[in-house]
Structure 1
Amino acid sequence: MRVMLVGSGELSRELVLAFQRLGAFVIAVDRYADAPAHDAADEALVVKMTDPEEFADAIARVRPDYVVVDTNAVAIDALRTAAESGSTQVVPGVHATQLSLDREGMRRLAADDLGLPTAPFWFAGSVAELAAVVEHAGFPMVVKPVVGVPGQGLSVLLRPEDVEPAWQRAVDAGGRVPHNRVLAETVVEIDYAVTLLTVSTEGPAGPALHFCEPIGHRQLDGDVLESWQPQPMSEAALGAAKSVAARIVRALGGRGVFGVELLVRGDEVYFSDVSVRPYDSGLVTLRTQRLSEFELHARAVLGLPVDTIMISPGAAEVTYADEADGRPTPRPESAAVLAEVLTVPESDVRLFGSHEGAPRLRLGLALATAADVTTARDRVWQASATLRRLWQ
C-alpha cells in the first residue's frame, strides 16, 4: 500500500509511523526539504502543494493508493483530479478537505444546512467590517481566522482597541494560506469546551462512526494548550455531543479522524468547529487510549478495524512559541531538566523540531496518566512547568 502523506510537520511524523506499522510505504510531501516527517518516511518529496499543476504532476508520478491530506496548504483542484481518476483515494475526502480550508463554509454547513446549534456569528472582510460587527453585537466577542486549525489565531475582544490586533492575529494565522476574512461570534456562557474525536470508517458492513471519550481542553495565554481525557459530561450532554458530531461528520463525508469542537453548558451543546485530521487537543490519546488518534486515522484510511478503548485517564500540555520570535534555543542543562520532568509519576515527554511556515511553533509536549483526571492534570502541570525551563 502506497500512502502519499501531504504535509510533513511534527504531527505528520506520528502518522508516518502509524502507517508504516501497518505495512504501508509512505511518501511524505512538503514544500521544503528536511521537513520533520521526511526523516521517518520511506520516501520524501519536495513539492509546492498549493500549485495545482506541480501537485497534480507529483501525484501522477507517485501513483499512490491513498493521498492523505495533513496540511492546510494544498491545491483542492489537484486532489479532485486525483480522486476522479479512480486510481487513488483522497482522505479524508475532497469535500471535507475543501471545507477544512474554509471556516465560513464549515460554519454555514453546520448552522444553515444542518441546523446545528451555534453561537450567533458574523463574517468580516476588513477591520472596519469587524468593528461594525462588534458595535452591533457588543462585547465580549470571539474572533477566529477563516483558515487554520481550531484554536490558532483566536482572540477575545473586550474593548474597541482589541479589534485591530484581533483582526491582524486572525489573518496572520493562515500561514501559507493567505486570507482576509474572519469569523466573529458572541461569547456563549459555557461550563467547558470539549473535543469529541469521531472516527469515520468504511468496512464490510458499510460506513460506521466511532466516538472516543470526550477530551476537555483550555488555552493558557496562547502559549500552552492543556487537554485531559475523559471530560465528565452528563448523559444528556454526551448524547447531544455525539448527535452533533455524527451529523457534521456524515455531512463532510470521507473517513479518518475528525476532531469535533463543542461548547457545553449544562445539557446544552453548541457546535464550534471541526478538524478533519489528528491535531493538538487529541495528543493526550498517545497515553490514554489503546490506539492513539494517529493510529486510529491510519486504520480508518486503510479500511482496517478500529476501537476507541480508553485505557487510563490522562492529561497533556503543549508548549508553543510564536514564529515571529523564532524557535528558542534549549538551555545547556537540557538532560538534567528532562530527567527532572520524568521523575513525575506516569509522565512522558516529546520535544519537537522546527517546521517552516507554521504560525505557531510547537516546542514540547508533556503527558501524564493517573487513576483519575484530577491527579493526571496535577502531574502534567508539574511536568510541563519543569519542561518549560528548557526555553526560559
Structure 2
Amino acid sequence: MSRMVSPGDTIGIIGGGQLGRMMATAAKQMGYRIAVLEPTEDSPCGQVADIVIEAAYDDLEGAKKLAEVADVITYEFENIDEETANWLAEQTDFPQGSKVLGTTQHRLKEKEAIQSLGIPVAPFHAIVSIEDVEEAATKIGFPAVLKTCRGGYDGKGQRVVKDEKELRQAAEELIKHGECVLEAWIPFSLELSVIVTRSRNGETAVFPVSENEHRDNILFRSHVPARIDDAVCERAKEMALKIVTGLDVVGTLAVELFMLKDGRLYANELAPRPHNSGHYTIEACKTSQFEQHIRAVCGLPLGSTELWSPVVMENILGEDLEAVLQSISRLDDVKLHLYGKKEAKVKRKMGHLTATADSIEEACEKIESLQRVNVL
C-alpha cells in the first residue's frame, strides 16, 4: 500500500460535518483539493470543499461519483453503509478499507477485537433477544450499561441499569434497533483518550494523552497533558499502538479509556477517525490530528506529535453559541473554532474554544474567566 497521493490531487471525504471540515482545511493548506459526499446542503465541510456531491451515505451511485473525482477517499465518521464501504475498498484507493469499519460499527465485535489483542475491556454479554436478559444479568451483574451494537454516540443508544427489571425494560426498548451488548459498570476515576495514527506505509505516531470531562454524556472539556502518572500515560499509549497495529488500522484512531483509582486501564470505545478529544492538537501540537490523518492516508511521512504547551479544549454547544457570539471581543486569549452549522440546537456541537498556557491550571482559568462574564 506504499503509494503517495501528492498535493494537487483530490481527496474525497465521506461526511460533511465538522471533522470533515477541519480535515479539509488541513488538506487544503497542504495543497490538496477536496471533494465531499454529504446529503445536506451547505454542510460544514461542503462550505470549504472544491466539489460537493449531495447524496446519502448509503447511496452507492453517489460513492461512485465521488470515486470519479477523487484520487484517494477517506471518511469523517464510521457509520458508512457496508455495501458502499466494500465497493470503495475493491474499486478505489480507500486505504482505510472496510474491515476496521465493520469492527468499529458494531460494539460487540469491537470489544471482541480489542479483547483478542489482550487489552482489558469491561466484562460484556450479548443480548440478541429478550430471552438473553436473565443470563446476561447473572453473568454481568449490576450496575451495568446496556448499549445498542450499532449507532449511537454522545450517550445515545444506551441505558444505565441497576437491576434485572430495569435491564428488561431497557432491552425491550433498545432491542427494537437490533442486537445489544450489556457491559459491566466500570468505577472509573478518569476518562482518557489517545489519538494514534498509522500511515498506509505502516509508520505510527501517538499524540499526548488527553484527560476528558463529560457532561450529559457529551465531551465537555479536554485537558492535555493528562494529570496522571507517567507510567499510566505510557501504558495508555502502548495500548493505543497495540490496537492500531493489531487491527491493521490506516489513518487516525481514537482510543477511549477508563482509568481506575489504582491506575488500571480499560479500553472503552474506538473511533477510526479524528476525534473531538483531539481538537486541542490544532493549536497545541506540532502536527494536528487532521494534518496527521491526511498525511497517513496520502502516504506522506507522519509529522511530530510534540506538545507545544499545556492546553484545554472546551466544546461550544447550541445553548452556548449566542453568548459566545455576543462576547467575541473578550476572546483575545483563546482560539475560537465555529463549524458553520445552520441551526444551534441544544446539546449540538457548534464549535470549540482552545486555551494554551504554561500550565493546565492557567489554561483552565482562561476558559473559566469567560464563564464568569457569561461568555459560556
**What interval of TM-score do these two structures reach, taking the shorter chain for normalisation?**
0.7 to 0.9
The 2-side partners of 1:168 and 1:375 are apart by 48
Would the aligned equivalents of 1:212 and 1:308 in 2 still touch at CA under 8 Å?
A: yes
Equivalent runs, 1:172-187 vs 2, <5 Å? 179-187=177-185
Structure 1 stretches of 4+ with a deviation exceeding 6 A read 168-171
SS of equivalent residue, structure 2 residue 150:
coil
The 1-side partners of 2:62 and 2:23 are apart by 21
Equivalent runs, 1:39-58 vs 2, <5 Å? 39-51=47-59, 53-58=60-65
1:179 CA displacement: 3.9
The 1-side partners of 2:363 and 2:83 are apart by 45
Equivalent runs, 1:1-392 vs 2, <5 Å? 1-51=9-59, 53-62=60-69, 64-85=70-91, 88-111=92-115, 113-125=116-128, 129=132, 133-134=136-137, 137-148=140-151, 151-153=154-156, 154-158=158-162, 163=167, 179-203=177-201, 207-222=202-217, 225-265=220-260, 266-305=262-301, 306-320=303-317, 331=322, 335-340=325-330, 342-343=331-332, 346-354=333-341, 361-383=348-370, 389=376
The 1-side partners of 2:365 and 2:43 are apart by 34
Number of equivalenced pairs = 364
Q: Gapped runs of 5+ residues in structure 2?
A: 1-8
1:130 CA displacement: 5.3
Q: CA RMSD in A?
A: 3.1
1:233 CA displacement: 3.2
The 1-side partners of 2:218 and 2:375 are apart by 11
The 2-side partners of 1:231 and 1:138 are apart by 31
Distance 1:194 1:149, change over 3 A: farther
1:168 CA displacement: 9.0
Corresponding residue number in structure 2 for 1:324: none
The 2-side partners of 1:354 and 1:169 are apart by 31
| Matched AA of 1:191 | S
The 2-side partners of 1:293 and 1:149 are apart by 23
Distance 1:347 1:295, change over 3 A: same
1:5 CA displacement: 0.5
Would the aligned equivalents of 1:223 and 1:319 in 2 still touch at CA under 8 Å?
A: no
Q: Which moved more, 1:35-44 or 1:367-376?
A: 367-376
1:362 CA displacement: 0.8
1:385 CA displacement: 6.7
Would the aligned equivalents of 2:124 and 2:184 in 1 still touch at CA under 8 Å?
A: yes
CA offset digits 1:351-388 (Å, max 9, x no partner): 334379x9962133122111111222233234357666
The 2-side partners of 1:291 and 1:168 are apart by 46
| Matched AA of 1:29 | L
Distance 1:350 1:262, change over 3 A: same
Distance 1:252 1:9, change over 3 A: same
The 2-side partners of 1:165 and 1:367 are apart by 41
Instruction: Tell me the TM-score normalized by structure 1.
Output: 0.81
CA offset digits 1:59-101 (Å, max 9, x no partner): 4432x2211011233223333233323xx32142221122221
Would the aligned equivalents of 2:123 and 2:183 in 1 still touch at CA under 8 Å?
A: yes
The 1-side partners of 2:366 and 2:173 are apart by 32
The 2-side partners of 1:225 and 1:162 are apart by 28
SS of equivalent residue, structure 1 residue 27:
strand
| Matched AA of 2:76 | D
Instruction: Tell me the TM-score normalized by structure 2.
Output: 0.85
SS of equivalent residue, structure 2 residue 199:
strand
Distance 1:376 1:129, change over 3 A: farther
The 2-side partners of 1:385 and 1:351 are apart by 21
The 1-side partners of 2:251 and 2:83 are apart by 21
CA offset digits 1:13-44 (Å, max 9, x no partner): 11111111111111011112221111100111
SS of equivalent residue, structure 1 residue 26:
strand
The 2-side partners of 1:134 and 1:362 are apart by 35
The 1-side partners of 2:283 and 2:173 are apart by 33
